[in-house]
A and B are shown apart, each in its own frame.
Chain A
Amino acid sequence: MSGPPPRNYFNATVGIRSWLLTTDHKRIALLYFASITFFFLVGGFAATLIRFELVTPGPTFASPDTYNRLFTMHGVIMVWFFLIPSIPTTMGNFMIPLMIGAKDLAFPRLNLASWYLFIAGGALTITSLLLGGIDTGWTFYEPYSTFYATGYVILAISGIFLSGFSSILTGLNFIVTVHKLRAPGMTWYRLPVFVWSTYTTSVILVLATPVLAMTLAMLLVERVFHVGIFSPALGGDPLLFQHMFWFYSHPAVYIMILPSMGLISEIIPVFSRNRLFGYHFVVWASIAIGVIGFLVWGHHMFVAGQALFASLAFSFLSYLVAVPSAIKVFNWIATLHNGWIRFSAPMLYAFGFIGLFTIGGLTGLFLAALAVDVHVTDTYFVVAHFHFIMVGGAVMGYFGGLHYWWPKISGRMYPEYWARFTAILAFFGFALTFTPQFIVGYLGMPRRYQSYPPEFQVWNVLSSAGASILAVAYALPVFYLGWSLLKGVRASPNPWNATGLEWDVPSPPPPENFERTPDVIRAPYQYEGGRALPQAKHV
C-alpha cells in the first residue's frame, strides 16, 4: 500500500496541545503507554543494578544503603507506576470502547484527569528518588517507615497517594462505561473476556485503593505529627499497618494479573481459531478471584504474630482462591483442542504466560501451606513466586496483548520473526532468572540482602545471568516496534482473523471509532471450521 494513510485518531489533529488536551480514549491510552514505558525502564534499570550487586556474596558496587534504595525504587516504581496501571490504562483505555461498540469512555475528561493525576504522582515519587531515594522497601512496614527510615518518605508516599486516585477514577470510568455504553446486542455474556476481566479489576480498584490511601495518610500523620497509630513507641500497633496494607496490596496482585488473564483469553481463541472453552466459567472465575481475593490478605502475616485461628482461616481461603485460577488454565488448554493453531508472536507470549503462571500459581500452594510458609516466607522463594505471577504472568500477558493489538493501535505490522524470537527469549531469560531463586530461597536466603553467605553464590550468579537475557528481551521490542512505526507493512482492519468489534474498524481507527453504531449479533470467539464469525452484523 502506498499514499497517505486515511484520516485516523493519530493524524486527525496535530500539535502538542491536541495531545495534552485530548479527550480521545485512544490518545490518552498512548499518553499512558509512553508514561508507563518510562517507568518500566526506570524500574528495570533498578532491577538490573540489584542483580549486578548480587553477583558476588560481598559488596559488588553498592553500599548497603544504596542497595536498600535500589530495591525500594524497583518495588515502588514497578508496582504502582507500571504493573497496576499497565494493562488497564493502555490496552483497556484503547480497546474497551472499541470492543463494546462505543465512541469513547463514559467520562472522557475524567479519563484525561486520571492521566494528569498519574503524572503528578509519578513526578513526586520520581523526585523523592532523585533527591536520594528512600530505604523503606515498597511495603513501608511500620515502625520502620515512621521513625527509622531516611529520605523523602513523605514525598514518595504522596506520589503513590495521588496515583491511587488516578486508579480509582480509571476504575470508575470503566465500570460506568461497561454498564452504560454497550452497543445494541452487546449483552453481558457477549462481552469479550478482556472486557469482563478489566471490569472486575475496576471494581477491585475502586474498593481497595481507598484503603491504601487511608493507610498512607495515617503513615504520613504519624511521621509528621507523631500521632500514635502504628508505632508502639507512641502506643500504636505495627500489625495494624500490615493488616491495612495487605488488605489493599493483596487484591492489588489480582489488579495486576486479571487484565493479563483477560488478554490471554483473547489471544488463545484467535490464534487457535476456535471458540473459547467454557466462556462462562472463565468469566465467573475472574469474578470469584476478585471476591475471594479480598479475603486472603492475612497470608502475608503467618509469622508476624497473628492469631492461630486467623492463620488457619487465611490459609484455607488462600487455597480456595487458587481454584478459579486453575479453572482458567484448564479452559485455555481445552480451547486448543480441535483448533487451527498459529504460532504467531502473541500466541507464543500466551504460551509463555501459561507456563510461567502455572509455575507461579502452583508455588503459591507451597506458600499457602502454613508450615512451609514459616520456612520460606521473606526468603527468595517468595521473591521467585511473585515474580512468576507478576512478571512471568502479568508482563508476558502485557507483551502478548501489545503485539496482538499493535496493528490496530499503530496501523502497522511488526516484524514477525523478531517478535517470535523475543517472546521465546523472554521466556527462557525469565525462567533462568527466577527458577534458581526458588532453590536459594528454600536453602534459606532471606530477601532484601545486599550481601549473603558464599554458599548461595552459584544460584545468584545463574539468576543474574538470566536477568541479562531478560533485559535484552525487554529492550528488543523498543527497537523493532519503533522500526515498525516507520517502515512496517500497513495493517488491514483484521489481520488476525479475529471476531471482536475492534477488528471491524480501520487500523488505526478513526477518532470517532465507528461510523455507525455496530449491531452485535453473536458472542465472541465464534469460528466455523476455522473461519471467524464477526460479532457485529456486516451490511
Chain B
Amino acid sequence: MSTVPFWPVEASHYAAQLDFLFIGLLAITGFTAGFVFFLLILFAARYREGSGVERSTPTTKTWEWEVAWTTASLLVFVGLAVWGASLYVTLYNPPRDSLQIFIVGKQWMWKAQHPGGQREINALHVPAGRDVRLVMASQDVIHSFFVPALRVKQDVVPGRYESLAFRADRPGQYRIFCAEYCGTDHAHMGGWLTVMEPRAFAGWLRTEGGHGTLADQGAALFRNYGCSGCHEPGGTVRAPPLEGLYGNPVPLSDGRVIRADDSYIRDSILLPKKDVAAGYDPVMPSFAGQLNEDDVAKLVAYVKSLGSSAPAGASR
C-alpha cells in the first residue's frame, strides 16, 4: 500500500457531479458544525464559573431567535433536498438506446450475459462513453450491485427485475461489490468492472463470442420448453403471438393496459396468471422452478428480438 486513499476514483461524469454535491454538503455542514463548536467553546470559556465577565439579565423573549434559526435551517435543508433529488432523477431516466446487459445475482456471485451471448462471472466489461443499462435479477436473496467508482448502487430483489443505468467515461478497472448482506460469502461476492475503449470492447466481444447471441439461445429454449407449441401459428392452444410485442401496450383481461417491457415478459413466464392478455384464457402454466433467471433472461432477449417488426396485434 503506497498511498492512503482519501477519495474514491471517478470513472464517470456522473461521479464527478455527485462528488460536487458531496463537497457542497461538506462545505455547508462543515460551516454549520464549525459555527456550533465555535459558540460552544466561546461560551464555555467566557461564562465559566470563575470568570468575572458581566452577565446581563438573561433573554426572556426567545422567539425571535427561534424563528430565525428554524427558518434558516429549513431553507438550507429544502435547498439540499432539491439538489440531491435532481441528480437522483437523472439516474431514473436512462436514454432509450442503452446497451442492455442482463445481470443475475446469486449466493455468492454476479453473472453477466451480454446481448451477443458473451457471459462473465464476477466481472463485467463495458465500453467507455456508451450508456449501459443493467437488467438485474436475483436467484435467491437480496443482493446489491455496487460500483463505488461510478457512485451507483441498486438492490437486486428476488422476484422482479431491477434496473441500473450508468455511463462509464474513463477506461480502467473498478471494483464491484455486493452491498446488501446476503450470507456467508457476502464479502467475496464481487469482482471487477472493466471499462474499455469502444474498439477494444468490440474486440473483446469477438473473442468472447461463440455461444450464439442471447436471443438465439432464447429461441432454442423457446422450442425446448414447448413455448412455440402455443405461441407460434398453428399451435394447439390459442395463445398471444409474440411478434411485435416488445415495447408495445398490451390490453389485459381486467381492463388495464400494460407496456410489454422486460419485467412484463419475465412475469408472464413465471407468473402467467398475474397479467393475462385480453381475449385469452388464463391457461398458461407457470415456469417458475423450471427456468432459472439466466434462462428467463435469454427468453426475454428472444421475445425482444421478435421486436416491433410486425405491427402490434396484426395477427389477432
Contact = CB atoms under 8 A, between A and B. Distances in A.
Interface of A: 64-65, 68, 135, 137, 141-144, 148-149, 232-233, 237-239, 272, 274-275, 277-278, 281, 302-305, 308, 311-312, 315-316, 319-320, 322-323, 326-327, 329-331, 333-334, 336-343, 351, 354-355, 358-359, 362-363, 365-366, 368-375, 377-379, 439, 442-444, 446-458, 529
A319 B180 CA distance: 25
Contacts of B175: 444, 453
A12 B283 CA distance: 78
A362 B89 CA distance: 23
Interface stretch (B56-64, B113-121, B227-235, B297-305): B56-64
17 contacts: A68-B186, A141-B141, A143-B158, A238-B157, A281-B62, A304-B157, A319-B78, A327-B69, A333-B39, A336-B47, A337-B47, A341-B48, A341-B49, A362-B32, A366-B22, A370-B85, A443-B5
B80 to A, nearest CB: 6
A289 to B, nearest CB: 13
Nearest to B60: A275
Contacts of B7: 442-443
Interface stretch (B123-131, B148-156, B241-249, B252-260): B148-156
B148 A439 contact: no
A246 B46 CA distance: 44
B44 interface: yes
Nearest to A284: B66
B141 A148 contact: yes
Contacts of B148: 375, 443-444
By size class, the interface of chain B is 35 or more
A358 B36 CA distance: 8
Contacts of B63: 278, 281
A442 B158 contact: no
Contact of B70 (A149, A323, A339): A323
A341 B155 contact: no
A333 B40 contact: yes
A371 B157 contact: no
B84 A144 contact: no
B88 A311 contact: yes
Contacts of A343: 44, 48
Interface string B174-192: 0101111111111110000
Given A238-B142, A443-B148, A449-B186, A319 B55 contact: no
Nearest to B18: A371
Interface string B1-37: 1001111100000000010011001001100110011
Nearest to B69: A330
Contact of B81 (A239, A315, A457): A315
Given A320-B77, A442-B22, A455 B140 contact: no
Chain B CB within 10 Å — which of A64, A142, A458 has the most? A64
A142 B140 CA distance: 10
Contacts, number: 252
B94 interface: no
B137 to A, nearest CB: 11
A365 B80 contact: yes
A382 to B, nearest CB: 10
B59 A326 contact: no
Nearest to B183: A148
Interface in B77-120: 77-78, 80-81, 83-85, 87-89, 91-92, 107
A326 B33 CA distance: 11
Given A237-B159, A315-B84, A338-B58, A451 B73 contact: no
Chain A CB within 10 Å — which of B32, B157, B162 has the most? B157
Contacts of A233: 158-159
Contacts of B162: 305
B70 A336 contact: no
Contacts of A238: 142, 157-159
Contacts of B157: 232, 238-239, 304-305
A372 B140 CA distance: 28
B184 A336 contact: no
B40 A64 contact: no
Nearest to B70: A327
Contact of A371 (B55, B73, B88): B88
Contacts of A372: 18, 21-22, 25, 84
A446 B177 contact: yes
Contact of A369 (B69, B84, B155, B185): B84
A369 B66 contact: no
Nearest to B144: A378
Contacts of A377: 153, 179
Nearest to B178: A446
